[in-house]
Amino acid sequence: MNDDLRALIRTIPDFPKPGIQFRDITTLLLDADGLAACVERMVAATDGPVDLVAGIEARGFLFAAALAVPLRAGVLLIRKDGKLPGATIAEDYALEYGQDRITIHADACAPGARVLLVDDLIATGGTARAAVRLLRKAGATVRQAQFVVDLPELGGADRLRADDIEVSALLSFAGH
């Protein structure tokens, strides 16, 4: 399924470090028909109306904006700390060696807003899970997350499901 999209995603071995098989979606983004098909399929997988499509920095912004138009929803940017002007709310999360923080504008999400979380790829799920916590802290209703690529061996989609999120991805790739 979605073999046409799979053919548009380049694998770069040993990037950013030895043993990693980097799934490069920039080749998908360069293909107008492939990108259109990707967006159409993600829209079709969306369950019910949404008020906002939240994109995780940075590639998630591209898909969030593309999905928001046909879904007639706004776009909410989830950014790394220090990138948004004005008042923000934040969520800290663990990295392999340390901590990171993501933020949204404090007024970006009305309580009860139905939010679809979107990113290009789900790996371990750390950032996506932090994004769900952040959105819920803001009062959003987050029930679903969509990704172009899932790396199931890393367990991120399963961790999101354990957080009561319906997860879908157009493609999955073995390995990391």
Is-catalytic flag, 96?
yes
Nearest Cα neighbor of 50 from 21, 27, 71, 80 is 71
DSSP state for residue 86 in the 8-state scheme? S
Q: Which 3 state secondary structure label does DSSP give 164?
A: coil
Strand partners, 91: 102
CA angle 37, 13, 119 (to 5 degrees): 40
Catalytic, out of 6, 41, 57, 59: 59
H or E stretch covering 90: strand 88-95
Is-catalytic flag, 143?
no
Q: What burial class does residue 74 get, using C-beta atoms within 10 Å of its C-beta: 0-12 exposed, 13-18 middle, 19+ buried?
A: middle
Please list the active-site residues. 59, 96
